[in-house]
Amino acid sequence: MSDSPPRPSGMPVISAKGIIVRYHRRTVLDVPDFDLRDGETHAVLGPSGSGKSTLMRVVGLLERPTEGSVSLDGVAVDVGDRRARLSMAAVFQNPYLFKGTVEQNVAYGLALRRVPADERDDCVARALDRVGLAGTQRESALRLSGGEAQRVALARALVLEPRILLLDEPLSYLDPLIKRRLVGDFSEILAAEGVTALYVTHDQDEAMVVADRVSIMREGRIVRSGDVDEVMGVPTSEWVADFIGMDGSLCGRITTAKEGIAEIAIEGLLVYACTDLQPGADVLVGIRPEDVTLFRTADGIPASSARNQLHMRVDTIEHMGSTERVSLVTNGLRLAASVSRASARELGLERGVEVIALFKATAVRVAPAHGVPAGV
């Protein structure tokens, strides 16, 4: 329902500067600079209590920060600025459907915007169709299943055609099956609507599916922010690496570079990566566990296009449901590999077993060491 003129893509729609939130003298949020760019889905990722929901409430003008300011299109706005709030809509962890029918819920924001009743009906029907709940208008909103309720909550926000959509852990209450289905739907809907979205979650898989950019939060601060592949691929600190499921952060230096393939020296080992960075550059390197394939050394290695073959030793094995997370070590370099339980059994993986870790140069994420903030 926003009547703002179209904006060039990528420009900040919302900027938050010098944000500090204190509860009873305890600082729960300290974010010097945060922006949400036009048309992007920006995921804010972090463990429980890291301040990500507080950041969303501040950016969404639902909570006044103790210090700092928020601006919309470069104009300072505040919690009391209802016009600014009317350009946003939120979906929370709990769908918080109101007593009444599905239709009354989805039409709630439209009624607040004084959209005529007949026009409202059409908008509601379209929004429900968009979230796969066509024809449920007359049903009681409070008798829906968890997945349906969350879809209604999404429809209730999308029907407003907000410029900014705020999503606070919208899938965390749902069971894994519905969650998997909905995360794909959310991603599709956000892309199709072209809406600018702030997506708060503690689930990195969810963030990787929906987001263009990611900010990782810890103890009220943003410790890593950037393009989703870069942030999720190149940890800048042990904590960030641990949080995104990688085994430590790797620091190295590019020794040679030829035809887009760089040779990076890390802890006395050489790793090949696809990067435009030049020799002499200090870099941070990340290899996602799912990109690493393991071979037993006794088996011999078939011819492969993977340029990286490291002789390593199994340090620990962690059960992760249907997969095993194998922590590997050599010369002080640590790496994680994700293998199925069946593969781990067939390879006879256990602590101390020698293996060869295979991964492609394209699977190695590289970022300049000076270009990213040091993690906390």
Partner 1 sequence: MEVFWKAIAEGTRLLAHGDPYTYGIIALSLRVSGISLLIASAIGIPAGYLIGSRRFRGRSLVTAVVNTGMGLPPVVVGLVVYMLVSRSGPLSQAWTSWLGGIMPRILYTVPAMILAQVIISLPLVVGVTLAAVGSVPMDLRLQARSLGASGWHEAALTIKEARRGVMAAVAAGFGGIISEVGAVSMVGGNIEGSTRVMTTAIVLETNKGNFGKALALGFILIGIAFLIMNGMTWLQQSGGRYER
Contacting residues for 158 by C-beta, under 8 A, at least 6 apart:
89, 127, 130, 131, 165, 189, 193, 195
CB neighbours (10 Å) of residue 339? 21
Among 23, 67, 69, 112, interactor with partner 1 by CB under 8 A: 112
Closest contact distance (angstroms) between CB of 14 and partner 1 is 14
Based on the shown chain and the rule CB under 8 A, indicate whether residue 72 belongs to the binding site for partner 1.
no
In the list 18, 47, 76, 113, the residue contacting partner 1 (rule: CB under 8 A) is 113
The size of the chain, in residues, is 376
Q: Does 23 contact partner 1 by CB under 8 A?
A: no
The two structure tokens encoding residue 304: 């492969």
* DSSP label at residue 98: P
Under rule CB under 8 A, which residues in 124-143 are in contact with partner 1? 140-143
User: DSSP per residue over 314-337, as a string?
Assistant: EEEEEEETTEEEEEEEETTEEEEE
Among 37, 52, 85, 334, binds partner 1 (CB under 8 A): 85
Q: How many residues form the binding site for partner 1 (CB under 8 A)?
A: 28
Is 94 near partner 1 (CB under 8 A)?
yes
- Contact present, 217 and 50 (Cβ < 8 Å): yes
The residue within the footprint of partner 1, chosen from 24, 25, 26, 99 (CB under 8 A), is 99
Stretch that binds partner 1, among 2-10, 37-45, 82-90, 312-320 (CB under 8 A): 82-90
Residue 354's nearest CA partner among 289, 303, 310 is 310
- 176-193 helix and 146-158 helix, angle to the nearest 10 degrees: 10
- Of the pair 41, 104, the CB lying nearest partner 1 is at 104
Between 32 and 71, how does the x/- string for binding to partner 1 read (CB under 8 A)? -------------------------x--x-x---------
CB 364 within 8 A of CB 287: yes
Read off the amino acid at residue 260.
G
Question: Under 8 Å CB-to-CB from 177, ≥6 apart: which residues?
Answer: none
CB of 33 to partner 1, least distance (A): 24
User: If binding is defined by CB under 8 A, does position 100 make contact with partner 1?
Assistant: yes
Per CB under 8 A, residues contacting partner 1 are 57, 60, 62, 82, 85-86, 88-90, 92, 94, 96, 98-101, 108-109, 112-113, 140-143, 156-157, 160, 166
